[in-house]
Amino acid sequence: MSYLSADDLLAISDAEDVREEYDIAGLGKVALCGLSLETVYEAREAARETGEWDGARWETLLLQHGILEPRLTYDQARKLRRKGANVIQPIIEAVLRLSGLTSTGEMSAEAVDAAEASFRNG
């Protein structure tokens, strides 16, 4: 069995390279991406700043970092949460899916299964 080199590992796509267009009916498209491991840990930490889970802060950070086009500031992403749930919730869910996360920022069972399968087959 041969092992990957450091260069092989570093050649893995960056989180922002995992893109998906999302169509907001009647308005147009936005570009979404998955979050890097680094961003996930930083966002989780920020969502637990007070000692309790702050779901609003978590979702705001998902929108801020998961929407590539147009780029949003934290304040703009926070304001997006005031829009209709039928428009914004699917965007949040798509960012979570692209990142392989559950709604609380944990690895989804599907992402764990895919990772385990790639190690078994690789």
Report the percent of the chain where pLDDT is more than 90: 69
Mean pLDDT value of segment 24-30:
93
Do 101 and 111 form a contact (C-beta atoms < 8 A)?
Answer: yes
Q: Hey, which residues does 21 pair with through a beta bridge?
A: 31
pLDDT band at 110 (very low <50, low <70, confident <90, very high): low
Mean pLDDT value of segment 63-83:
97
- Residue 6 structure tokens: 């450091």
Mean pLDDT value of segment 79-100:
95
Q: pTM value?
A: 0.80
Mean pLDDT value of segment 85-114:
77
pLDDT band at 41 (very low <50, low <70, confident <90, very high): very high
